[in-house]
């Protein structure tokens, strides 16, 4: 497919090799305005803002994924396959289902289970295990250690529902899954199919077992730590 694509109006070369992906378009704008220098708006189709700028002299892009696997599926596919993007780092929030996690902790999704049908498109006679890029994961871990951040590495669940009729927490929790979000499995599958790299970093915004939640100021502070970490990896 030629660029621009149906969902991205950027020109060839507008994106840096590494794109940070928050879910929220306004967050992408906030990151560009507060963390990057010389940031240029490269996409605004459907208000999904994408920017390319510099962090400590290194060229990096940030664009929103929207919510859910279908949405991140579209944007990550177009970035990997049509815009030559090599690395996508999702920066999001997740609900914890592991008793040792606290709100504000970081979770690096080493693998992403899912209740979505997204993977069925590949026609596999079995189950595909969507996993993070080891290289990006290793960098995330070493950077988090240097920064003295609280983090866990492990399996996460990319759920198709935020408001599910049943609480999926308990059964996944038994299998050691740490937290629930809504995008990583689609991102990891697209990276695998394209031969590219992806990582999902989440801040725990709420705890589904204890009911603990971040207030807005805590959200902002923990977001700042996650941003510094993601930009350092990029
Ligand atoms: N479910 C799905 N995504 C989330 C949650 C959740 O409980 N919390 C933050 N993102």
Please provide the DSSP assignment of 27-72 as one string.
Answer: HHHHHHHHH-EEEEEEE-GGG--EEEEEETTEEEEEE---SSHHHH
Tens-digit pLDDT profile for residues 10-60: 999 999 999 999 999 999 999 999 999 999 999 999 999 999 999 999 999
DSSP 191: H
Tell me which residue has its CA closest to atom 2 in ligand 1: 181
Would residue 206 show up in a list of annotated catalytic residues for this protein?
A: yes
Angle at 78 between CA 159 and CA 64, to 5 degrees: 55
Mean pLDDT score, 141-169: 92
Q: Which residues line ligand 1 (CB under 6 A)?
A: 93-95, 159, 162, 180-182, 205-206, 208
Confidence of residue 170 (pLDDT cuts 50, 70, 90): confident
Distance 226 CA to ligand 1 centre (A): 17
DSSP 118: G
Tens-digit pLDDT profile for residues 191-214: 999 999 999 999 999 999 999 998
Neighbours of 194 (CB within 10 A): 17
pTM higher than 0.85: yes
Tens-digit pLDDT profile for residues 87-100: 999 999 999 999 99
Alpha helices in the chain (DSSP H): 25-35, 69-82, 134-147, 169-174, 184-194, 216-233
């Amino acid at each position: 497919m030629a660029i621009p694509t149906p969902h991205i109006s950027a020109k060839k070369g507008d994106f840096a090799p590494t794109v940070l992906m928050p879910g929220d378009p306004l967050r992408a704008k906030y990151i560009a305005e507060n963390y990057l220098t010389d940031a240029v708006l490269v996409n605004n189709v459907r208000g999904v803002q994408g920017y390319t700028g510099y962090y400590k002299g290194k060229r990096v892009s940030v664009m929103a994924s929207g919510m859910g696997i279908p949405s991140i599926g579209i944007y990550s596919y177009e970035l990997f396959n049509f815009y030559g993007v090599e690395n996508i780092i999702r920066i999001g929030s997740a609900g914890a289902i592991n008793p040792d996690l606290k709100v504000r902790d970081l979770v690096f999704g080493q693998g992403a289970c899912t209740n979505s049908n997204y993977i069925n498109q590949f026609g596999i006679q079995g189950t595909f295990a969507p996993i993070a890029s080891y290289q990006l994961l290793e960098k995330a871990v070493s950077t988090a250690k240097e920064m003295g951040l609280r983090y866990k590495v492990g399996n996460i669940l990319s759920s198709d529902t935020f408001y599910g009729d049943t609480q999926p927490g308990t059964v996944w929790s038994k299998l050691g899954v740490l937290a629930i979000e809504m995008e990583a499995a689609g991102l990891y599958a697209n990276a695998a199919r394209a031969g590219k790299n992806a990582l999902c970093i989440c801040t725990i915004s709420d705890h589904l077992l204890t009911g603990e939640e971040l207030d807005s100021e805590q959200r902002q502070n923990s977001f700042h730590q996650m941003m510094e970490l993601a930009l350092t990896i990029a």
